[in-house]
């Protein structure tokens, strides 16, 4: 309850909607009142722009209400008594005749799920030759991470059952099958192909576009191809062949561990779980070197990556050295961070080890989600550096000079009259428009964070 009393945080219902919205050319129909659609539609369109102009005459249909994404069945009190069947059928008939889409997803809102309408029974006849996913329950009181993973598993399960996803791939070799019999794999294993899926990246993440671009660039640099991202701009063609990748890379543990386990069980695909996100030079180098080790990629093919990382480290050092010579900063600067276990671990380790800063307050969101043992790693790291109290210190009580959080938290602390610089790392944002895709991951992300830290301390 602490998350929800102090902040505006999305829940399982939002995780489901945004997870499915990551599909390319998808219609995600909310079976519920209009109040359930506006936030989800606005956020989805801000993250992945579909409407080029804010014209009140665009999307005038009764399911869209002027917004290009996440239509709804606009249930009213009569529908809660007599059921939503008629409105669902009417909406589906309109979509089939007027909208170009590849997949249809119908999600019950919390109130609609209490009616007892069978979404599959209502819509299946109308969707006989259309890829469809039906989400009967929004997962009451569960976290956004749990909702996202539930949506991904239902997406994979329901489409596999109906034959829209290839269950068996002829491209699997005996060597790959032997590797995939293991729970997890280490750097010494190898596969024949060099194709991966990125798991646990979503449009819920502030810099998802830049994250995917940077990770793809670094992997391509070493001869590894990204087949699909579950779920960011995921096409039906990619989804059909999701099981053909040789390895699944779990970037955000809370958004991907259960999905990776499902893919391993159903398709035999092994997975690599990031030790936190690849935030910072050290974490990025470990991430890329581990993947190269799995695929037994020779050092010569890694050379471009190694050289770029070294050049980036050198450039960052020049600016940090100038700041330090004038002010002694950033060493010893206190900071606060808010996020999931894996997010906090990633930022804290980079800020402490690379900048010599001190964690003063760490606020964990969605603390009960599976973090892939990252919680234990963070606690051990803090203990090693004598910063254990940071997990006990409430964020509103922070005296930090830098706060890494969402804009809502930063604004709340500013209203308390605290003097600090806020650096946004998650949604919601203050509204800054990122025309150039940005990231806090990889080499480019380490450079951007270094830039933000330096400017945050100077101004």
Listed by start position, the domains of the chain span 2-160, 174-294, 300-458
DSSP string spanning 169-195?
A: -TT--HHHHHHTTSSS--TT---SS-E
From CA 393, how far away is CA 344, in angstroms rounded? 14
Do 107 and 31 meet the contact criterion of CB atoms below 8 Å apart? yes
Nearest to 221 by CA among 310, 304, 338, 119: 304
Quote the DSSP letter at residue 294. H
3-state secondary structure of 335: strand
From CA 250, how far away is CA 229, in angstroms rounded? 10
Do 402 and 335 meet the contact criterion of CB atoms below 8 Å apart? yes
3-state secondary structure of 105: strand
2-160 belongs to CATH 3.40.50.1980: yes
* Helix (H), strand (E) at residue 442: helix 442-458
From CA 79, how far away is CA 85, in angstroms rounded? 9
For the entire predicted model, the pTM comes to 0.92
From CA 42, how far away is CA 226, in angstroms rounded? 29
174-294: CATH topology? Rossmann fold (3.40.50)
The string over 415-445, giving b where at least 16 C-beta atoms fall within 10 Å of a residue's C-beta and e elsewhere, is eeebebbbbbbbbbeeeeeeeeebbbbbbbb
Angle 264-265-267 (CA atoms, 0-180°, nearest 5)?
A: 65
Do 270 and 237 meet the contact criterion of CB atoms below 8 Å apart? no
The string over 209-225, giving b where at least 16 C-beta atoms fall within 10 Å of a residue's C-beta and e elsewhere, is bbbbbbbbebbebbebe
From CA 316, how far away is CA 305, in angstroms rounded? 16
Nearest to 36 by CA among 70, 8, 1: 70
Same fold, 2-160 and 300-458: yes
Neighbours of 6 (CB within 10 A): 16
Contacts of 105 (CB under 8 A, 6+ apart): 20, 23, 26, 27, 28, 29, 132, 133, 134, 135, 155
3-state secondary structure of 326: helix
From edge to edge, which strands make up the β-sheet containing 334-339? 358-364, 334-339, 402-406, 421-426
From CA 175, how far away is CA 173, in angstroms rounded? 5
pLDDT in 10s for each residue of the chain, 459 residues: 455 445 567 899 999 999 999 999 999 999 999 999 999 999 999 998 888 888 878 888 889 999 999 999 999 999 999 899 999 999 999 999 999 999 999 999 999 998 888 899 899 888 888 999 999 999 988 999 999 999 999 999 999 999 999 876 544 444 344 444 444 555 444 444 599 999 999 999 999 999 999 999 999 999 999 999 998 999 999 999 999 999 999 999 999 999 999 999 999 999 999 999 999 999 999 999 999 999 999 989 899 999 999 999 999 999 999 999 999 999 999 999 999 999 999 999 999 999 999 999 999 999 989 888 899 999 999 999 999 999 999 888 889 999 999 999 999 999 988 899 999 999 999 999 999 999 999 999 999 999 999 999 998
Architecture of domain 300-458: 3-Layer(aba) Sandwich (3.40)
From CA 428, how far away is CA 409, in angstroms rounded? 9
Strand residue runs (E) in 113-236: 132-135, 195-199, 225-230
Q: Beta partners for 361? A: 336
């Amino acid at each position: 309850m602490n998350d929800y009393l102090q902040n505006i945080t999305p829940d399982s219902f939002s995780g489901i909607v945004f997870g499915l919205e990551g599909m390319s050319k998808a219609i995600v129909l909310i079976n519920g009142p209009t109040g359930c659609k506006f936030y989800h539609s606005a956020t989805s369109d801000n993250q992945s722009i579909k409407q080029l102009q804010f014209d009140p005459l665009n999307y005038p249909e009764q399911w869209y209400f002027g917004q290009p994404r996440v239509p709804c069945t606009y249930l009213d009190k009569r529908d809660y008594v007599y059921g939503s069947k008629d409105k669902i059928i009417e909406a589906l008939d309109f979509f089939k005749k007027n909208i170009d889409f590849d997949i249809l997803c119908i999600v019950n809102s919390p109130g609609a799920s209490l009616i007892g309408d069978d979404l599959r029974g209502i819509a299946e006849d109308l969707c006989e030759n259309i890829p469809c996913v039906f989400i009967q329950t929004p997962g009451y009181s569960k976290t956004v991470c749990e909702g996202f993973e539930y949506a991904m598993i239902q997406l994979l399960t329901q489409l596999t059952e109906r034959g829209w996803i290839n269950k068996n791939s002829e491209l699997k070799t005996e060597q790959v099958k032997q590797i995939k019999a293991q729970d997890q794999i280490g750097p010494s294993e190898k596969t024949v192909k060099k194709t991966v899926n990125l798991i646990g990246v979503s449009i819920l993440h502030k810099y998802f576009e830049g994250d995917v671009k940077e990770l793809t660039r670094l992997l391509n640099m070493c001869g590894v191809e990204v087949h699909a991202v579950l779920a960011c701009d995921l096409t039906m063609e990619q989804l059909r062949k999701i099981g053909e990748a040789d390895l699944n890379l779990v970037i955000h543990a809370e958004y991907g561990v259960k999905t990776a386990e499902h893919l391993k069980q159903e398709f035999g695909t092994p997975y690599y779980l990031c030790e936190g996100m690849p935030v910072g030079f050290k974490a990025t180098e470990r991430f890329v070197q581990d993947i190269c080790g799995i695929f037994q990629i020779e050092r010569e093919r890694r050379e471009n990556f190694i050289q770029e990382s070294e050049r980036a480290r050198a450039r960052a050092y020049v600016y940090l050295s100038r700041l330090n010579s004038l002010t002694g900063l950033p060493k010893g600067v206190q900071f606060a961070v808010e996020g999931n276990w894996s997010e906090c671990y990633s930022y804290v380790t980079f800020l402490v080890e690379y900048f010599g800063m001190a964690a003063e307050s760490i606020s964990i969101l969605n603390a009960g989600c599976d973090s892939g043992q990252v919680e234990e790693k963070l606690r051990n790291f803090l203990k090693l550096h004598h910063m254990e109290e940071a997990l006990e210190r409430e964020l509103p009580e922070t005296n930090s000079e830098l706060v890494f959080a969402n804009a809502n938290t930063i604004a709340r602390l500013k209203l308390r009259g605290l003097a600090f610089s806020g650096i946004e790392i998650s949604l919601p944002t203050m509204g800054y428009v990122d025309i150039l895709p940005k990231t806090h991951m990889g080499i480019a992300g380490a450079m951007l964070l270094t830039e933000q830290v330096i400017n945050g301390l100077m101004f």
